[in-house]
Amino acid sequence: QADINRYKEILHALADLYCQGYDLAWRQLYGEEKPNRLHLPGYPFAKESYWSSDSGSPFVSMGCERENFVLHPLLHQNTSDFSEQRFSSRFTGEEFFLKDHVVKGQRILPGVAYLEMARAAVQQAAGRSGQENVGIQMKHVVWARPMMAGEEAVQVHIGLFPDENGEIAYEIYSHLDESLEETVVHSQGTIILRPACEVQSLPIEQIRNQCSREMLSSSQCYEQLRKMGLEYGPGHQGIETLYIGDNQVLAKLQLPAFLLDTQDQFILHPSIMDSALQASMGLMIGSGSLKPALPFALQELEILEACTLSMWAAVRYSPGSKGEDKVQKLDIELCNEQGTVCVRMKGFSARILEGKIDSESKEKLGMLLYQPGWKEKRIDSAVPVSPISQHVVILCEPDQAIEDSIAMNMNGARCITLQTKGESIAVRFQGYADEIFEEIQAILKEKTNSKALIQIVIFSKEQVPFSGLSGLLKTAHLENTKLIGQIIEVELKDNAQTIREKLLENSHQPFDSHIRYQDGKRWVAEWKEIKTTQDTVKIPWKDQRVYLITGGSGGLGLIFARDIARQARSATLILTGRSALTQGMQTKWQDIEALGARVEYRQVDVTDQQAVNRLVESIQEEFGGLHGILHCAGVIRDNFILKKTQEEMQEVLSPKVLGLVNLDQATKDIKLDFFILFSSIAGSLGNAGQADYAAANAFMDAYAEYRNDLAAQQQRQGKMLSMNWPLWQDGGMGVDEATEEMMMRSMGMIGLQTANGIQALYQSTGIGKNQVMIMEGKVDQLRMLLEQDHSKENDKHSSVNAVAGDKIINQDLYQNLFNEIAAGTLSEEEFSTLMKM
């Protein structure tokens, strides 16, 4: 018996080891006599239901159609396929977060619902349990367009796009029509799953004492919000009391009683979260500007704990932002009763709703014209100083004494002097661009993420064209945010000591990319919208005049040649290019000749000074004068800085830099009616892959200011205008359908229509500015992108992103574009077409 027991014990132990995966030598157990295998009955699958019964459904109060089958109240089904990790939801409009969230008469999905939707989607996809939300971070959230509930149920999808760094980009979108062809993106952002941060607390009592200026009850708050057109139903009336202080507010929040059973369904409960955003109204009361607004962007959100039934929301301006700003940035912290921070939002901004809310299809399309301007801006000592590991100061043709003193006394900075004597400004610019390009390339090749600051100092008005080097700096920053660039124009009266002080103070304001000191004041470049009227339209073309169009056989050259022929009788048009004249080219302008214009083609390379001189002389001799120039010659050689060669760069710079100066020199004594430069948005904003093209166009922009100054001193005649064109629908560097669709989706921009481009030129010549930037698309969205003042940002990413007003659009555009690439919705071809901007 003892043996049998021992045998069974060993057998059990062996069985256990076998189950654990050990490979056992069974032969030793049985010896020579092998036992037979036995078939045992299979396991019967018990058909038992584990669904909760109807009566206890947690989603009954949600008003969802599919209440028993949804993954989450905001995330109904997993509809992923091989092309996309996707979740879809169908909202009837009766859910509390829609029914009780009415803005200007429309039921709108609250911005906070997208945050919870994205969080829940990532939680599902990552196979996390509800308790594992701690440590979720969201960044670069943009609410592009509101989603409205109409009479019929609306379907919304969320796509997740993980990248190799572990970040998950998301896009929340719906389809405009049944064919599913047109997509409307409502919100997008990025989620990072990371270890939980340390728990932090806020001194609630202390903050409440600081917020003693005014106290509003719940009903007072919602009455105030109602007057602003924001109708919150019971499900979104979470503010119990609002305490208002100077530049900060504190709100006591309470989940409405009828939603208590929904608390466990959400981590970022829409009712509580939305009430926290509503609390920011307290700041508006303080600043006296009460206007309805919808969420627009959020730099960062951290989830430390789930929202609780009763919470505190502390709202204040983000560092550097203030009540008077056009776009205010807020930091909002949600704490539980004990003051422990559960959710932290940084850099939240909202867009003011001026008219009634429009759905995507009805959004107003139009054209916007912007001009560069200067805004007086003192050094903002509130901006936190971010550490810079490399500081390079580049002096443009300084006096020897200033050079020596700055080089010796700029502690920690490397000084480079740009000094080429006796050459034309174009040759010097192209040479300097080469030097700086090499410098930038070397910095970008260093495999560190620490920041580098390049400051280029310009000393006099004559050096203004050198500010075109900003095109290199802006592009470098777009290609790698670790590089920050500044153009600093100092005053003639400045000595080495004051210049050093200016360099130092600006190194603490890296958000300002172009600074000008004038009349003892500090000015920062910004974009100002031009309000045009019919009165400002001026057709520059006149009858029987002689016009030179460089690059005239290209797309835009021919568009304008045709327009001149239409508007002016018997015009003579001299088109130039490097190519020899062909039959094919001639057929392209037959219709122009048919309109009554005389078209002549000259094979001239604008970079050849002698050839340009000969061309100008011969035009005057042959046609009796020259009255206007459209400088359209240009080439692109797109490549990121790390890959770009100096040969490519010189090729791109030459027609716009050398070519322009050659033309200007050759015509300096001629009484021109106009001299129009075909520049690009890339010149004003930089463009990834186009450092050379951006610098070439920025040189032309700056040259227009320089030459108009000469004209004011009677050294030139006629106005020079630099047009920063966007991509045109037609024309040589035009846009295809797929790119246009992508431009619209990601930035609300469309290819410039020919008629509008011509109109824009008429308006720009009419107002007589040096430089005009043009964009066509959804005006509200474009305005928002361009006018949002990012100069106050201080977070790690955005502080280096947003260097000045003119940079803003780029950052947002690029963020969108890169999201598109990550999402696979933007092909490399589309991206390179966009780079041609």
User: Which residue ranges make up the site for ligand NAP (CB under 6 A)?
Assistant: 550-551, 553-557, 576-579, 605-607, 632-635, 655, 659, 678, 680, 725, 727-728, 731-734
Give me the half-sphere count of Cα atoms (radius 13 Å) on the Cβ side of residue 349.
Answer: 26
Helix (H) / strand (E) containing 704: helix 691-712
Task: Choose, from 100, 274, 563, 701, the residue flagged as catalytic.
Answer: 274
Nearer to ligand NAP, 331 or 740 (CB): 740
Q: Residue 641 and residue 578: Cα distance in Å, rounded?
A: 27
- Is residue 669 within 8 Å of 713, Cβ to Cβ? no
Token pair 């000393």 is found at 459
- Residues in contact with 570: Cβ distance below 8 Å, sequence separation at least 6, in sequence order: 543, 544, 596, 597, 598
Q: Residue 674 and residue 631: Cα distance in Å, rounded?
A: 11
- Is residue 455 within 8 Å of 394, Cβ to Cβ? yes
- Is residue 40 within 8 Å of 49, Cβ to Cβ? no
**Where do the DSSP E strands lie in 109-213?**
136-143, 148-149, 154-162, 167-175, 183-193
Tokens encoding 647:
């040969």
Q: Residue 347 and residue 508: Cα distance in Å, rounded?
A: 20
Q: Dihedrals φ, ψ of 116, to 5°?
A: -70, -35
Q: Residue 740 and residue 734: Cα distance in Å, rounded?
A: 10
Closest CA to 773 of 707, 659, 697, 691: 697
Helix axis angle, 646-656 to 658-666, nearest 10°: 30
Task: Choose, from 72, 76, 101, 631, the residue flagged as catalytic.
Answer: 101
Closest CA to 436 of 412, 408, 410, 417: 417
Q: Which amino acid is at 370?
A: Y
Helix axis angle, 470-479 to 425-445, nearest 10°: 20
Closest CA to 440 of 691, 797, 814: 691
Rg of the chain in Å (alpha carbons): 32
The secondary structure of residue 197, as a DSSP letter, is P
Q: Residue 352 and residue 325: Cα distance in Å, rounded?
A: 13
The secondary structure of residue 362, as a DSSP letter, is G
CA angle (150 as vertex; 149, 152 as ends), nearest 5: 105
Least spacing, CB of residue 221 vs ligand NAP, in Å? 49
Beta bridge partners of 772: 723
Least spacing, CB of residue 605 vs ligand NAP, in Å? 4
The Cα-based distances of 601 to 175, 552, 610, 730, 821 in angstroms read: 50, 8, 18, 22, 42
Closest CA to 768 of 430, 399, 369, 416: 369
Question: 434 catalytic, yes or no?
Answer: no
Whole-angstrom distance between the N-terminal and C-terminal Cα of the chain?
92
Nearer to ligand NAP, 188 or 687 (CB): 687
- Is residue 814 within 8 Å of 685, Cβ to Cβ? no
Q: Which amino acid is at 222?
A: Y
Token pair 């610019």 is found at 429
Q: Dihedrals φ, ψ of 373, to 5°?
A: -150, 180
Least spacing, CB of residue 608 vs ligand NAP, in Å? 8
Query: Distance from CA of residue 5 to its chain's centroid?
Result: 76
Question: 101 catalytic, yes or no?
Answer: yes
Token pair 């919150």 is found at 232
Burial code of 656-694, b = ≥16 C-beta within 10 A, e = fewer? bbbbbbbbbbbbeebebbbbbbbbbbbbbbbbbbbbbbb
**Where do the DSSP E strands lie in 7-100?**
77-78, 85-91
Q: Residue 817 and residue 800: Cα distance in Å, rounded?
A: 18
- Is residue 774 within 8 Å of 725, Cβ to Cβ? yes
Of all residues in this chain, which one has the CB nearest to ligand NAP in the complex? Answer: 732
Q: Residue 676 and residue 758: Cα distance in Å, rounded?
A: 13
Hey, which residues are catalytic here? Answer: 101, 274
